[in-house]
Amino acid sequence: MAKAKTGVPGVLNATNDLAVWAETPPAHLDAIAQEHWTDTLHAFSGTYTFDQIDLSSFSLMCEAWSEFVRASAGLKKEQEEGVSNGIYTVTKNGNIIQHPLVSVKNQAAERYLRFAKEFGMTPAARAKIAENQVSTVDKLKKYMG
């Protein structure tokens, strides 16, 4: 299992082990965010370095994911019930407007992706990390060689 690269033991666990952190999501997160917390930290385990200080931002990312999922589910339910088409809705006055949950969903997706980039969880972010690692190795070879 991956160990956090640094971190101060004691707040979440004494080992700074991602697998242990994965099993103890913060209590303030709802069930969807807690599940995302656990699944994502397990996915990181063995491949990613994580500091304890990163967990606050990671918590916000999980909250954004939960908001995205709940907004998507709300839109889907209303679409299935014929209340709206999942994108637009009709006001009491008969005006057609964008469904408010579409804005919630879009804003949550934007926030999530901002955090995902910070944590190297997008293809572009991973490519950049790999590129930087190769560059560092090349520099070391030149220096050593």
Percent of the chain with pLDDT over 90: 47
| 48 backbone φψ class: left, alpha, beta (φ>0; ψ -120 to 50) | beta
Q: Express each pLDDT in 84-103 by its tens digit.
A: 998 999 899 999 999 999 99
- Residue 40: other Cβ atoms inside 10 A: 20
pLDDT of residue 14: 42
User: Of 13 and 127, which is predicted with more confidence?
Assistant: 127
